[in-house]
A and B are shown apart, each in its own frame.
Chain A
Amino acid sequence: MNRLKTTAPITWCPGCGNFEIQNSLEAVLEDLQKEGVPFKKIILVGGIGNHAKIVDYFHINSFSALHGRAIPAAEAIKLADPDTKVICFVGDGDTYAEGLEHLIFAAKRNVDITVVVHNNRTYALATGQFTPTSQKSFKGSTMPYGAKEDPFNPLELMLVSGATYIARGYPVRSQHFRKLLKEAIVHKGFSIIDVLQVCVTYNNLYTIYNKNLEEIEVSDPASFDEALKVIRSWNYDTGERPIAIGKFFEADRPSYEENYSRFKAEKGDRNKMMKDALDRLF
């Protein structure tokens, strides 16, 4: 048995895009371990949805949180021990809908965590409703005649919110995806990968993706304008046009916990503290 596996039975559908995310994570963690990041320093944080089951499948520290609420827990974990690698696995319903505020603020703070969004563009575990990134034609169970709203472009939002590593990946192209995943984890600061993970049961986009995906390399990863242009080149529709995958943006900006640890979280002498405080308030 693989040393990173647990006894938890895997309950994803055959052909689910999550399998390749799982395989990639395993490969990247093994890689990192060889490069000096021990498994014990890795902490996986999950939202709620099919994606979140991934934390159960790894014999690695994990915090299975609530739908939409993985990110604030992950931020505090990182603040508590800046020496850890904190990786959040979240869904598109999970983080682009219910937990959007946390995603934006984590990017704003540039806290050094990695957010992997399993963006299958449907609520799969909740059985096929439409999400913020469902294509307009999507006939979800809650919009049986086709989605009434246009999707929004979460990576555009991430760019203006202050994320310092932004990528889109397709786990089927596993070598490319693994490279991005590793880069994101190693990146110092807030990193996000929007993963085009296919839900075979409710929103099977394999054909569209396989046909239209295009691996791109930006000429200057630190260029906001170039990133914006690439990000805007596809708006989560299903038209016949290239869908860019790759690293769109990477910038060097001090991370939250670097600024934050101005003061060390040491307990100090609390008896003296009490005496001083009471003296001050006399």
Chain B
Amino acid sequence: MQHVSVLVGGETGYGVSDAGVMICRLFCRLGYRIYMYNDYPSSVRGGHQFVIVRASTEKVAGHSDQVDVVLAFNQDTLDVHKIRFHNHTVIIYDSEKVRIDGISQPSYGLPLGKILEEEGGKPVLGISCMMGGLCKALNIDWNIFEAMMQKHQTETVKKSLKIAHKGFEMAQTVDSLEVIQQPLLPVLSGNQAITLGLLKAGLQAYVAYPMTPTSPIAELLASLEPDIGIHVVLPESEIAVMMMALGYSYMGVKSAIGTSGGGFSLMVEGLSLAGQAELPVVVVLGQRAGPATGMPTYTAQTDLNFVLHAGHGEFPRFIIAPGDAEEACYWAGVALNKAWKYQIPAFILADKTLCLGLFSFDLSLTAELKEEPPVLWDGQGEYKRYQYTEDGISPLAFPPVEAQVVKTNSYVHDENGITSEDPADARAVADKRFLKEKNLAAELKDFETVKVYNQGKTALLCWGSNKGVCIEIAKKYGLKVIQMLVLSPFPEQALTQALQGIEKIISVECNGKGQLVTLVKQHGFKVDDQILKYDGRPFSLEDLENDVKKVIG
């Protein structure tokens, strides 16, 4: 076999995610491209969690409801997910906790408690035992598994391998997962990819208040503090987060902040300041199901309207919505570079699916990412923070500057940054902001702001994490996929081009109001049909296929 889908289920807090990560790494070492969906409730212990790892010879970024192997740590894994099994699904289960009455598929019970007791292993090593069973069931070379374990489980590896081997002995081979001859890739979450992109583009400080699904960015950067000297600050609220980021910007320190919709609500006041004072800031916004607390660990694409319009007053913003790990990395870097070039807020509009999903990461698929220096003052004459220029960009200087002052201002201001209520100044600073937006839009014509995949007369129009499923279904049904990567400034020309020869447009979004559709209609485009999902879960391949079949008839 050359593709496989594995479901791991168990109680929250007992290593289901870790098992998923290990399986991803193992499959990557066999040459596969993986994607992992992580479904967990908002509780540290006690709920039911599951992950679905998909491995394919080609790039994948979506999960399937059909699973070939099940690793069941609890009864729910069988009871809740039975609907996902087919006739040949292999079930490896903890025989001390799970009853398999009425299951006709091949099943192998591992008495995890007993094995762990015999080997003196902690409960978390139950994962290793299951992994051993998985290796046997799919005929995976033990040496490859061992090498992976040696690298990632350095402290307990000996015991882990021993326990894993017990699982290996107790299962039987039902199929062979072939080794694929292609470059082996690392496994990254969307959050990790965003982090690397920001760092590559010169990030120096990260400010955040804890919130799913972007907290892992702060965790990763905090762990890197000693290596790369980045500042990670965790202040009292998202209000302070935004204000600190702007304080850093004033001093020339490139910063980013991360949150979800609820936290971003608190940042909006400061966002408007960024607009008026022309202070660059990058916001990583991982959308999740709202309104209010909603479903904190589940996904949504419901904050596009919010981000497009957040903040009182009129000011430009750069909004990008990556669809997979490579795009997340590359465009996060672009966001930081352009925020500083144009001195504006930039958004990496992600969602829980992207942030916490795992991907095979192929750096070669992304364009070269470099730190771009912002427009700096040349040191001649008197420094004017808001100097009027042809392109609307005032050169930057950061305190302390010899014999000069740098004045930034939340009020309408003159070129020196002194408060003004003069109508001419009011118009001038607004025009300056609009001019920057126009110039950013012009520069973006050289970027792939709208991406096209496959060919056909009918197009699936999508944004963000729906990219992966859309591409797979489009290939199956001969459809074109149009992915909007940049949402502001609106890439009108690129979308017009992508729509050449298209007779029918079907939008695909994880919200109930069709927010992308509203946006494209504002710019004079039409959409024929909408496929919407707003239950907190991303589209599986089967979900999308069913919906697409209905609308294409």
Contacts and interface: CB of A to CB of B under 8 A. Distances in A.
B418 interface: yes
Contact of B196 (A38, A62, A265, A274): A274
A62 B405 contact: yes
Interface in A237-280: 260, 262-268, 270-271, 273-274, 276-279
B92 interface: no
Nearest to B269: A66
Interface string B171-188: 000000000000011111
Contact of B199 (A56, A80, A273): A273
A101 B240 contact: yes
B406 interface: yes
A105 interface: yes
A104 B399 CA distance: 27
On chain B, which size bracket covers the interface? 35 or more
A125 interface: no
A135 interface: no
Task: Name which of A41, A266, A281 has the most chain B CB atoms within 10 A of its CB.
Answer: A281
Interface in B352-382: 361, 363, 371
B245 interface: yes
A76 B233 contact: yes
A56 B409 CA distance: 9
A61 B400 contact: yes
A267 B269 contact: no
Interface stretch (B200-208, B343-351, B424-432): B200-208
B250 A48 contact: no
A126 to B, nearest CB: 15
Interface stretch (A67-75, A146-154, A197-205): A67-75
Task: Name which of B202, B243, B247 has the most chain A CB atoms within 10 A of its CB.
Answer: B247
A63 B247 contact: yes
Contacts of A262: 225-226
Contacts, number: 181
A182 interface: no
Interface string B51-64: 00000000000000
B159 to A, nearest CB: 23
A72 B240 contact: yes
Interface in A1-17: 6-8
Contact of A76 (B188, B225, B248): B248
B117 interface: no
Given A63-B247, A72-B239, A270-B199, A265 B371 contact: no
Given A105-B236, A278-B186, A74 B247 contact: yes
B105 to A, nearest CB: 33
24 contacts: A40-B400, A43-B399, A56-B407, A64-B419, A66-B243, A69-B270, A72-B240, A73-B244, A73-B250, A76-B244, A76-B245, A76-B248, A76-B255, A79-B248, A80-B247, A80-B248, A84-B399, A84-B400, A101-B240, A102-B243, A104-B236, A268-B228, A282-B25, A282-B151
Given A7-B416, A278-B196, 19 more contacts: A40-B402, A48-B410, A56-B418, A61-B406, A62-B408, A62-B409, A63-B250, A65-B243, A65-B273, A72-B235, A72-B247, A73-B244, A79-B231, A102-B236, A265-B204, A267-B202, A277-B192, A278-B186, A278-B188
Per CB-CB distance, the 8 closest pairs between chain A and chain B, nearest first, are A76-B247, A80-B251, A72-B243, A73-B247, A40-B400, A76-B244, A72-B240, A282-B186
